[in-house]
A and B are shown apart, each in its own frame.
Chain A
């Protein structure tokens, strides 16, 4: 069976794909889909419970929670892709260099990875944020800069086994340089595992961003994000359950979607599972 047939037959992977696609559509058409302006303050309608007019209720300033969640989807999408993209870029380059060259370069890079892994990631992110202004770009960069270690290990392992293969020797025999061999010959063969790591990494980045925004050091109000709606949920925990319930469900479903998609890609690209 080909990759696509394997993937197509996996209902859970398709469900994950559907969830991720839905997130894209919602983000893309947020201005059309949102029933209200996400920043429109309505002080006569503060903390209104879910009703026909406001499906998910309103927050402490009377803003429509559903509209804020729809715009918040954009933040999640952006953070997931930019942060993970950065982590994948760093991890792939370092892992490729370590695995391809070996020797002292490999030792140096891998010791660095070991040291970075000693830091509780959330601590490291918070410490860096303490020195920078909390903004969405800083958050994305910091999440990316602290999340590349796993990718490095993965890519290095792939490169170590791939560099001994005949096609690499053949490429070298026709005079291809190191950069050409690394990026054009070996990297495409490691792409499947990188793609899986990226998909699962997006899920992790979205979780981290929501936790940071929840603590007030991520996306800053009035920009809506799922995490900072939950902050309002905590502040009004005894009177407004809807502020806590719905944004969290959105995070949960999104993360489940990316995880299902990632595992689907892994299963479909794993030759051991092919029958």
Chain B
């Protein structure tokens, strides 16, 4: 865990410093009043005139205090503040889509395994295969055209309607939920195909085990055999897959937050990349990696909670 974290900071630092050009170039080149002396002062302000390892250590020290530097954008706010105010909505959408992935993919996977080679199994196999290949941003466009413009059922941009302030609390909640439907669905879509396919393979393997035969032999109903004995064992490895899908979910937030104009971390990342706001880019890259690490840790812990065999050893 700690070595991984250190490694993440090294990669972030390397990306920042191996790239051609100095991060201060943008501030000085755009400014005709910038003298050579001022350029040097900027360099020493950001400690870019010191050896690399000294820079790295001092950057790391700042990190431990939660200091990610100051944004290059016109507001000059601390990067940590900018990210923190946008993190909740990104995490909310990602958690909602994780829940949807579990709630939809697990039953699909189980049913297509239990009724192997049925029509349902074959149809879902095709849907899943196409699902792997669909560019999510394109699907987002099509859904915006269909539900947002042709039918006019769902809002296609932002988190709140213009009349949000005047709505009752319940109305505000409905409004927010309406704005979240398409982004959450798009965010969940990629994971749906992967997990349902994985669940199917797991169930097929578990159903052939001896203890399932035993459960049937002692006269349990098919329902109990599938949902109590088989499902529990097939769910275990799926926890790992969910953990592995977290970087994809977080990375995908750039795409759907940009398309749907959602003020989250992904949109901030995209805007910072376009504006060459290096401190913010590096800060979000770091946060994204740390979130992934945390997600994997949670997956490992829940695996141990769910499987007594791992707890003992």
Contacts and interface: CB of A to CB of B under 8 A. Distances in A.
B250 interface: yes
Contact of A128 (B7, B15, B254): B15
A127 B248 contact: no
Q: Is the interface of A mostly helix, strand, loop or mixed?
A: helix
A196 to B, nearest CB: 15
Contact of A127 (B136, B258, B281): B281
B276 to A, nearest CB: 6
B254 to A, nearest CB: 6
**Nearest 10 interchain pairs by C-beta:** A131-B19, A120-B251, A248-B138, A122-B251, A115-B7, A255-B133, A120-B247, A130-B273, A244-B141, A256-B133
B137 A211 contact: yes
Interface in B107-152: 129-130, 132-139, 141-142, 144-145, 149
Interface of B: 3-4, 7-8, 10-11, 15, 19-21, 129-130, 132-139, 141-142, 144-145, 149, 156, 247-248, 250-252, 254-255, 258-259, 269-270, 272-274, 276, 278, 281-282, 284-285, 288-289, 292-293, 296
A112 interface: yes
Given A115-B7, A234-B141, A237-B156, 14 more contacts: A118-B292, A118-B293, A123-B285, A127-B285, A129-B273, A211-B135, A214-B137, A215-B270, A230-B137, A237-B144, A237-B145, A238-B149, A248-B138, A256-B130
A131 B141 contact: no
A169 interface: no
A130 B135 contact: no
Chain A interface size, under 10 / 10 to 19 / 20 to 34 / 35 or more: 35 or more
Contacts, number: 137
Contacts of A230: 137-138, 141
B273 A217 contact: yes
A252 interface: yes
Interface in A68-82: none
Contacts of B135: 207, 210-211, 214, 248, 251-252, 255
Interface of A: 111-112, 114-124, 126-132, 203, 207, 210-211, 214-217, 230, 233-234, 237-238, 241, 244-245, 247-248, 251-252, 255-256, 259
22 contacts: A111-B3, A117-B247, A118-B8, A118-B247, A119-B285, A120-B247, A120-B248, A123-B284, A126-B269, A126-B270, A127-B281, A127-B282, A128-B15, A131-B21, A132-B19, A215-B254, A215-B255, A217-B273, A230-B138, A233-B141, A237-B145, A248-B138
Nearest to A122: B251
A260 to B, nearest CB: 8
Given A128-B19, A256-B130, A119 B142 contact: no
Given A127-B15, A210-B135, A237-B149, A121 B251 contact: yes
A132 B292 CA distance: 25
Contacts of A233: 141
Contacts of B20: 131-132
Nearest to B130: A256
A123 B149 contact: no
